Amino acid sequence: MAKISFFFGEAFRSLWRNYFMTIAAVVTVLLTMFVLGVVMVFVWNINAVLKDVEQKVEITVFLKDSATASDIETIQKEILGMPEVKDSQFVSKEQALERLKADLKEHQDILKDLPSNPLPASFEVSLKDPQQASLVAARFEGRSIVDEVRFGKEIAERIFRVTSVIRNVSLVFILLLGGVAVLLISNTIRLSIYARRREVEIMKLVGATNWFIRWPFVIEGLTVGLSGAILAVVMVVLGTNFVIDRIRENLLFLSVPFDALPLWQLGLVILGVGAAIGAIGSGLGLRRFLNV
């Protein structure tokens, strides 16, 4: 207990006495974590848009007019029983016509003279994982009451190709940026340790163990990493809210699900990364000077 308070005392005294280094290190963490945070917000939003696009891949199963009510009920049950299916909506011939009328708006006169309803009844099946569309669609092919199965195979596959490229690129980008952040921060730490290498040497000559010397440095690194990260989180949250408000005001038609953005999770990630880089960076940066 006495030791722990000693280590914290040492750490904070040194942060205070080397305040210039402390500020430089906090600012480094703040800037790198802020950039990382902003990029993560962007990637998260891009991802949300991509998911939205992917969800539009639906299977439509058109039924023949000969299908009876009991046929429809059986197939409805079967569809809902499939593990890949999220939801299924039955659209009767009448509903299909209503929809068409709604879509046509003022031009709906052209439907007036129809002798009978030409539109087929259908099931609109949405999937938990849209990538499985062709697998599920294949199950309906060739049924006696099924007229046609449609899911925009070509378009769906193209969408998935594009989204996966975008996802991989942004992942690589985040990893690269994270790597740069680690390098920058650990370099700052190494500089501040280098400035104090003689102190470390003296401590060793007086009989301090490596961990006795290391703990205050680790606590210092943790403090710097955490303070920089907290400031970065505050800036990212404020900045994001500001930008979202502007977008809401000016681009009302955009259907991006901003609200679902888990800012507090992002904050935790940034705090964790900042604290870990600070603490581990200090601990490792010291290694070279402990071999006296």
Report how many residues bind other proteins under the rule CB under 8 A.
19
Is 102 an interacting residue with respect to other proteins (CB under 8 A)? Answer: no
Question: What residues from 232 to 251 belong to the interface with other proteins (CB under 8 A)?
Answer: none
Q: Which is nearer to other proteins, 224 or 236 (CB)?
A: 224
How many CB atoms are closer than 10 A to CB 126? 16
Query: Which amino acid makes up residue 190?
Result: R
DSSP H or E stretch at residue 65: none
Give dist(CA 176, CA 182) in Å, integer: 10
Least separation in angstroms between residue 22's CB and other proteins is 13
Asked if 146 touches other proteins (CB under 8 A), the answer is: no
Which of 163, 192 has the CB closer to other proteins? 192
* Window 195-234: contact mask with other proteins (x via CB under 8 A): ----x-xxxxxxxxxx-x----------------------
Structure-block tokens of residue 19: 């305040």
Lookup: tokens for 117: 């309803």
Smallest distance, Å, CB 198 to other proteins? Answer: 8
The owner of tokens 């659209």 is: 91
CA distance 45 to 252: 16
Question: Could you say whether residue 3 binds other proteins (CB under 8 A)?
Answer: yes
Coil, strand or helix: which one is 124? strand
x-marked contacts with other proteins along 9-48 as a string, rule CB under 8 A? ----xx--x-------------------------------
Q: Which is nearest to 170 in space by CA: 41, 273, 54?
A: 41
Nearer to other proteins among residue 34 and residue 215 (C-beta): 215
DSSP 125: E
Which residue has tokens 């703040």? 30
Interface residues with other proteins (CB under 8 A)? 2-3, 6, 13-14, 17, 199, 201-210, 212, 292
